Amino acid sequence: MANGLCWLDGEIMPVEQARIPVLDHGLLYGDGVFEGIRFYHGTAFRLEAHLRRLRASARAIGLDVPWTASFITAAIGELIDAAATADGYLRLIITRGVGRLGIDPSRCVNPALIIIADTLELVSPKIRKRGASLIIAATRRLPPDGLDPRIKSLNYLNHILARIEANHAQADEAILLNQHGHVAEGSADNVFVVRNSELLTPPASDGALAGITREVILELARDNGIPAREVTLAPYDLYTADECFLSGTGAELIPVRDIDGRQTAACPGIIYKKLAAAFRALVAERGR
């Protein structure tokens, strides 16, 4: 869409007109949760799964969500209907709300709900076609005893630092390792490798977000007879993979051309092509 829209306090407005108070604790301290959701053909993709994860993230940080799923669904529907295109990206945010200075969350009385509809392109069509160039970042994924990876919070600073490393290396994306040196995820996506015709991805216990698109890819693999499992991966497994690709709501599916200068054996590979075609077919089917 030419200009993004925002649902805020029950009103839909251009994003450049939307305002939040400077004392909102989501702004001050990253105290809040969010979901990124694609919509295709005027329908939010896997919306129920996203709303379940949003509510789980909020519960995990002790954030009350006073809005029902049906209310949020209706607000999203209004925003999509008002959008200039049938395909786009939603950012659904719940913050702790306005409070006094200081990190104490009890200072906030009313949480805030913000929904943004806009376009999102993590990589150019050229990169998507030829494959992305990756680095393994020095920045590590926060351990579960620091911030559980299943919580999709507004605190993304370590991922931003990893992305800065990728920018400095003139790479398209960065892979974060966990505290044990095992592969966790990309700065904004999950990672898959193919080895001996088997699809592999790190488990959430290794620091990977339990991505909605990640789960879709695993479902599509099962439906298409592709062996798939969650397994701990090391950088060696990325360097020596037959194929590698990224997945995520924003990323959708992106093939990987090289990692730390090591060329992948095939890009895009046979498994990637099959899964990418199945994914396109799925979202074309009423965007559900």
Catalytic residues: 152
Answer whether the bond into residue 203 is a cis peptide, omega within 30°. Answer: no
Residue 134: both structure tokens together = 């990756």
**Would you give the end-to-end CA distance of the chain in angstroms?**
21
DSSP 146: T
CA distance 176 to 162: 7
CA distance 35 to 255: 23
- Determine how many CB atoms are found less than 10 A away from the CB of residue 156: 15
CA distance 113 to 125: 33
**Strands, E, within the chain: which ranges?**
5-8, 11-14, 32-40, 43-44, 88-95, 112-118, 132-140, 173-177, 183-186, 190-195, 198-201, 228-230, 243-248, 252-259, 262-263
Chain centroid offset of residue 65 CA: 21
CA distance 81 to 43: 9
Residues 253, 127: contact at Cβ < 8 Å?
no
CA distance 146 to 154: 15
Residue 56: both structure tokens together = 């789980």
